[in-house]
Amino acid sequence: MGKEKLRKQPSGRLIESLKMERMRNILTHRYPYPHEHSRHFIIAVFACWLFFISSDNLQNLIMKLDKNFKWWSMYACLIGFFYFFSSPFIRKTIKPNYSNFNRWYIAWIFLAALYHLPSFQSMGLDLRMNLSLFLTIFISSLIFLMVFHIIFLGLWYLGLVSRMAEKKPEILTIIQNCAVISIACCVFYSHCGNRTVSRDKSIDRRTASWIVFSLWTKHDDNTLISRLLRMHKFKEQICSSWFAPVGSASDYPLLSKWAIYGELSSNGSGSSNEISPVYSLWATFMGLYIANYVVERSTGWALTHPLTISEYEKLKKQLKPDFEDMVPWYSGTSTDLFKTVFDLMISVTLFVGRFDMRMMQAAMNKTPDEANSHDLLYDHLDGKDELWFDFIADTGDGGNSTYSVARLLAQPSLVIKSDDSRITFPRGQLLLIGGDLAYPNPSSFSYERRFFCSFEYALQPPAWYKPEHIALEKPELPLGVSELRRYRGPQCFMIPGNHDWFDGLNTFIRYICHKSWLGGWFLPQKKSYFALKLPNGWWVFGLDQALHGDIDVYQFKFFAELCQQKVGETDSIIIITHEPNWLLDWYWGDSTGTNVAYLIREYLRGRCKLRMAGDLHHYMRHSCIESKEPVHVQHLLVNGCGGAFLHPTHVFENFRVFYGNKYETKSTYPSYTDSSKCDSFRILHEDSWAGRINGFFSAMWNAIFEILERSYVSLGGVVTLLMVSFFFVPTKLSRRRRVLLGFLHAAAHLTSAVLLMLLMELAIEICIRNHLLATSGYHTLYEWYRKVESEHFPDPTGLRTRLEHWTFGLYPACIKYLMSAFDIPEVMAVTRSTICRKGIESLPRGGAIIYYVCVFLYFWVLSTPVVSLVFGSYLYLCINWFHIHFDEAFSSLRIANYKAFTRFHIKKNGDLEVFTLAVDKVPKDWMLDPDWDMEPKQPFQMSYTRKFPSKWRAASGLDPINAVRIVDRFVIPRTPSSPRTPSSPKTPGGSVR
């Protein structure tokens, strides 16, 4: 028997179980290559730049600080503003994708504005030269490396180069390396220049070292100026010895026509036969890159750096979970949100009333008698004496919050202190999820990364399970388990929410109905709705409301027949829906879910003890206290704290009546007080001259009237803004209030826009009057660079002329228009001066478009924080004064805290204990749990049998296991057995839709 198990056990697991060290397969594993990560090179370049800056310009900076105070103040404002704008994207290198766009966009227009200011020139640092030289070297390096990689890959495919290292170069890596090389060359040129040292006057290394030592010991005084002077002379020796040219062009006849020549050091002008130090440095970097790349790709980095299993596992332990951030609901550049809007439009058009997947599921039911269908009815838990089970909803948003809840659900037991006593909660044998499994749309990425990933970290799936596996016949029980009733591990059932329906339930069916495991939770479920028969007369009905907010006729038929044939007169039923219709109908003054209401009233007839839902991301419980009519539902419970952003509770504070009965709020999480709290902000005011203030606001007022009187396009935009603002206000308010709120909201945006445009115009005018802008034409940076280039980079062999001829003029044209992209303020200033002199009619259509685009680029950055402030203030006032826009206001906050789940206990006497366990603060940083790591793991051991099932624990602060607390607790007693005459419900025609 032992030999048979040994044969069945995979060889890899056998080796790992015996703790044997083996070498990783170096022929198939794709190793990271050092040249792809140029962090050390960047650090070295930055250190050299700091040294050169301190040696050259610190003295000038200290001496001229008073004269340039206004410009340095402007630098500080620019840097502070741009950091404020881009601060949400700091340390976001890969995800979300739109952060990369914002970071590069901000860096682009920031540099375009920065190099026009004059104070850097007073320090001896000309940003124009650095920027133009960087662009030139960057384009040259990019073209050179692209040609090299094309040739190398051609040789690789032909088999002339070893295929041991299979990884192909990435374009982003090539761009990064080109940028680092270009920065290094610019730093060298800025502080060492382009002057060559003739051979007869060259200084050998021994002489240079002696001069450096003598300079370092010559001055005895310890003043700051003397130190700076010695550092400056030391820097000159570094430039003349360490960065000396490699020789003259005559030494390299094959490259003499392609070399760039430098200035002669003796007189500082004219040309020489010496190769430019900048070119020498660039060629050295290119040569090192190519040599490193060829050697690594030909011989393989893995040959000299193999990893053992223990080293590889040790490296893995240093990693952290790569959780997804919460969905940025108000990001205009998030592709996921555009896809969500598109899917929603298609779903509403196609699936609402035209094609319903629930109808397809009913048609595919294998059993004609739906009440006895094993695809919909599960009674395998009925035979237990007692049962613990859990409920959560709205899970897959932020990875930190979702994993925090999943970690609590996965623990074998939770010990929580309550009222001077300690209560032990065993792990739930059943997990119920109330919809909205992943946000913002149901896709493979969102389900895997935002939903499955967190639960798999909390409780791992079986070792033999493959994520790509498709379950043909469910339930696919583990080896050795003959039937579902004998399985002892945790199980999971779930219903879809509105976000899961955006693609017509396609992803939900693939990942839930055709998969067998959610982490370590077994998935017996086959359809999107179900009925569970639990011990001691308790039932759970999981309803699928789709996008209608109601169940369909086929679903109604199944549950109605189940109530008539299976559910006893004294049984108790828990109904799970995604939307809490009782709260939303009260809030919007609507009436939805008529089929669900008819099912509860006419078929359940008082047997519905509890109705649960998610959708609203908070916890609220209402209980019936007065009943003029029969009590159809005793308790109403909302718990959408499974991982999504927080919703407020205080906007539903006045809910009182449902189904004609009076209800009272028994518990809320967070509390009404905590929900209504919001950090206040202050607006800083700066005093100025009264005349200038009056002139400024009068100009702004005149600009508004100019828009309304003459500019038809702007007037159309204002009217559109008013209409959007009006229709954006919820219909919950009266029309008069909607008009007033919409007008004030639009007026705030219009005033802010005009104010920002005037500020931008004033800034441009100030720069023009100080001769910082509009000093020449549109291509001032390029023309200036060509002049400096001819002076400092001689071209005796006519290399530039040949390149221009061979590239059909693309060589100078690409550089010219690339530099103009960094000269946007100059384009704006020159065009504005033309408009002021001749009027806007004098501009050609293309020139006007370019001007508007340039203005928009800066106006976008200026307006983003201001529009966010206006919109945020609007939401703040609405949520606190009018109790509207609760979804919009709190989705923008993306609050990951206040997470909770509800744990139920069916006792032996039939009573149902209900506990809601919550964590106030969700950890943001995780580390490998040492208990999980040290616990022995057998190859085929089920994860639910482990003492420490979750992989990660909080790296700082309280772990959710130690911070969890009870926020609500109540008991629903079992219905006493008493003779009752059954009455058949009436089903009048047309009552079920």
Instruction: List, for residues 848-857, the tens digit of each pLDDT value.
Output: 788 888 888 8
Query: What letter does residue 631 receive in the DSSP assignment?
Result: -
For helices 886-893 and 845-877, angle between their N-to-C axes, nearest 10 degrees? 110
DSSP for 815-833, written as a single string:
HHHHHHHT-HHHHHHHHHH
Please check the confidence at residue 312 and state whether its pLDDT lies above 80. Answer: no
Q: Are strands 387-392 and 899-906 parallel, antiparallel or unpaired?
A: antiparallel
Domains of the chain by start residue, with CATH: 35-195+230-243+274-294 (no CATH), 338-365+378-670+898-972 (3.60.21.10), 724-885 (no CATH)
Please check the confidence at residue 913 and state whether its pLDDT lies above 90. Answer: yes
Dihedral pair phi/psi, residue 843, rounded to 5°: -80, 140
| CA–CA distance, 659 with 608 (Å, rounded to integer) | 13
CA 544 → CA 176, 575, 614, 617, distances in Å? 50, 11, 13, 19
Residue 636's pLDDT is: 96
Dihedral pair phi/psi, residue 826, rounded to 5°: -65, -40
Contact 438, 396 (CB under 8 A): yes
Dihedral pair phi/psi, residue 915, rounded to 5°: -125, 130
391: nearest Cα among 966, 49, 19, 902? 902
Contacts of 184 (CB under 8 A, 6+ apart): 41, 45, 48, 281, 285
| CA–CA distance, 794 with 775 (Å, rounded to integer) | 27
Please check the confidence at residue 630 and state whether its pLDDT lies above 70. Answer: yes
Residue found by looking up tokens 């032992």 in the block: 2
3-state secondary structure of 532: strand
Please check the confidence at residue 8 and state whether its pLDDT lies above 50. Answer: no
Q: How confident is the model at residue 693 (pLDDT cuts 50, 70, 90)?
A: low
| CA–CA distance, 275 with 296 (Å, rounded to integer) | 30
Summarize pLDDT for 697-734 with one digit per residue, the tens.
555 555 565 655 555 666 677 788 888 888 888 888 88
| CA–CA distance, 942 with 412 (Å, rounded to integer) | 13
H-helix segments, 219-276: 224-241
Residue 314's pLDDT is: 57
Query: What letter does residue 536 receive in the DSSP assignment?
Result: G
Range of lowest pLDDT (157-161, 206-210, 336-340, 631-635): 206-210
Contacts of 283 (CB under 8 A, 6+ apart): none
Contact 235, 56 (CB under 8 A): yes
Residue 688's pLDDT is: 45
Range of lowest pLDDT (129-138, 590-599, 651-660): 129-138
